Structure 1
Amino acid sequence: MLDGVATPGRAPRLLFVHAHPDDETLTTGVALAHHVARGDEVHVLTCTLGEEGEVIPAGLAHLEGDGPALAAHRRGELAAATDVLGVHHHLLGAADADHEPTFRDSGMLGTPAAEHPRAFAGAPLTAAAAAVGAVLEAVRPDVVVTYDATGGYGHPDHVRAHEATAAAVADRPETERPVLYGVVQRLGWAGEDRAWLAEHVPADEGWVLPGEDNPYAANVVPDEVVTHSVEDLAAREVQTEALRAHETQVVVGDGWYALSNRLVFRLAGREGYARLDPVSGRPLPEGAA
């Protein structure tokens, strides 16, 4: 469970900040479903519409490379997934769900998308933090969750989401400052998941299992750095259903999922988090609750 200092007289309120559609379910789907089931008020803020995403189904391949068309489609996927999860949804800088967010998917470093004038990663940090801060002011969460300083795997938009969220939290008056968490993965869990995938994923269908050629993600940390965890098999079932809504981005198997690079990950029903210092962006204190 992710705990904060709740306001007396109302349910705990949590805000999860993510870069693109599908990130909310891939990285925090268990926590989202778990806290909704507890009766908490759960919000998701999505910073861009994922215009640069790769498209998996052949029948939707025409969307890849067409930023506006893919954004429109992924907006629908996001709406379906957040409906399954039961969360309140916000687009960064948009007046409502029918308007455009302020920023655009930046793609990876060195791609033309990174130079787009609306690219999220290229926006001044002050502007990105102010946009997140406006949502904090409107929602008044007790807990805020985003990526760790690595962005999970280094995507520039994930890193900027972390930076903007931490800065926005730090800018809140101290008496109104929510508790900040970053998504991390226990090293012990990562090893267990690799072994499970090797036993359960079909070996003759071209899926890529994590191994020596696919090193751990950047946010895999020593177990003691993980201050909080959410473990909930019922929430995993909700997460799995929500993932199916993101058909352009995810293939869902039996207890696992794969991305467009065919690299597989386990749906284990557990997620790790670390309390973060909003000023430094690092676990605060390292390894302590």
Structure 2
Amino acid sequence: MTIRGQRPRLLFVHAHPDDETLATGVALAHHVARGDEVHVLTCTLGEEGEVIPAPLAHLEGAAGDPLADHRRGELAAAMRSLGVVHHLLGATSGDDRPTWRDSGMAGSAAAEHPRAWAGADLDEAAAAVRAVIEQVCPDVVVTYDATGGYGHPDHVRTHDATVRAIAGMTVRPALYVTLTPQSWVLEDREWLAEHVPQDRGLIVPGPHAPFATSVVPDAVVTHVVLDPSVVAAQSRALRCHETQVVVGDGWYALSNHVVSRLAGREGYGRFDPLTAQLLEQEESP
């Protein structure tokens, strides 16, 4: 992403703790290293997350949502590690929980919770996001594409709320959404097949495995952040999210044991909040 001016300010809007480092960790670390001012807004505390370490399994699904407070600590550690400024949607102090709650995966009973983010009134959600945007005054806002990356209802709500928030502003920051070129996915699968240990019960997607919904033809991706030097910083931040992520040498896995590559590159597309359409490339990234 090319931004003119001195010390640009960026705001990344995400649904749950760890999403920021998984989906945009390269851009976060890259822009911090450049000396830019980087902010992250998290909309929920990931109360429905699936816990990986056995010693922490008691947190999953427990009464009172103790996983929320644990993941808040993980998120704070990751933000310190990356060197970004963090905001929690609707929280007015460091001890407050956000206005909305993790809705769980599609079809989850958690979607019926009265505070579920996926069920939030879109105008109210957009107003809350807009308040943070107006507070931060970013040059650039980054969030998921319209499918939420892989269809997670909270990611979709985050996209919709962010788009509506910016569309209602008189002076609008540039909006980008996360996209991945198909050729990268195929290259990463080849790399994973050669580098991921075969004795750990991990799943390496085959060359014909389905793509995530945010994987698009290469030409659709108009902006790229390419910086292998920040993989170590991204990996350190991911290790802070111990309940959700297992990190290896150049790869990570979630609770489903499916591995993904840490390749030091991320793709994005410029998004028009008024037409809700991707824009064609206007300049070199």
Q: TM-score range by the shorter chain?
A: over 0.9
Q: 1:230 aligns with which of 225, 232, 238?
A: 225
Q: Which runs of 4+ in 1 moved over 4 A?
A: none
Deviation of the 1:112 alpha carbon: 1.5
Q: In structure 2, how many angstroms separate the alpha carbons of the residues matched to 1:81 and 1:267?
A: 16
TM-align CA RMSD: 1.4
Match of 1:246 in 2: 241
Q: In structure 1, how many angstroms separate the alpha carbons of the residues matched to 2:208 and 2:153?
A: 22
Q: 1:123 aligns with which of 120, 124, 149?
A: 120
Find the residue that maps to 2:118 and give its secondary structure.
coil
Match of 2:169 in 1: 172
Match of 1:109 in 2: 106
Q: 2:45 aligns with which of 31, 49, 53?
A: 49
Structure 1: segments with no counterpart, 5+ residues: none
Deviation of the 1:11 alpha carbon: 1.6
Q: In structure 2, how many angstroms separate the alpha carbons of the residues matched to 1:108 and 1:234?
A: 33
Structure 2: segments with no counterpart, 5+ residues: none
Q: In structure 2, how many angstroms separate the alpha carbons of the residues matched to 1:162 and 1:187?
A: 22
Identity %: 68
Match of 2:129 in 1: 132
Q: 1:221 aligns with which of 197, 212, 216?
A: 216
Q: Work out whether residues 5 and 142 of structure 1, in 8 Å CA contact, stay in contact via their aligned partners in 2.
A: no
Q: Deviations over 1:207-254 (max 9, x none)?
A: 111126741111001111111111112211100000000000000011
Q: 1:281 aligns with which of 256, 276, 279?
A: 276
Match of 1:82 in 2: 79
Q: Work out whether residues 148 and 155 of structure 2, in 8 Å CA contact, stay in contact via their aligned partners in 1.
A: yes
Match of 1:40 in 2: 36
Q: Deviations over 1:85-141 (max 9, x none)?
A: 100000001113321111100012222200000000001110110000000110010
Identify the range of structure 1 (88-97 vs 267-276) with the bigger mean alpha-carbon deviation.
88-97
Q: How does 1:5-24 map to 2 (within 5 A)?
A: 6=5, 10-24=6-20
Find the residue that maps to 1:276 and give its secondary structure.
strand
Deviation of the 1:281 alpha carbon: 3.0
Deviation of the 1:204 alpha carbon: 2.5
- Say whether 1:62 aligns with 2:25: no
Q: In structure 1, how many angstroms separate the alpha carbons of the residues matched to 2:181 and 2:207?
A: 18
Q: How does 1:183-202 map to 2 (within 5 A)?
A: 183-202=178-197
Match of 2:176 in 1: 181
Match of 1:159 in 2: 156
Q: In structure 1, how many angstroms separate the alpha carbons of the residues matched to 2:270 and 2:233?
A: 25
TM-score by length of 2: 0.96
Q: In structure 1, how many angstroms separate the alpha carbons of the residues matched to 2:135 and 2:33?
A: 23
Match of 1:26 in 2: 22
Letter in 2 for 1:171: G
Match of 2:2 in 1: 3
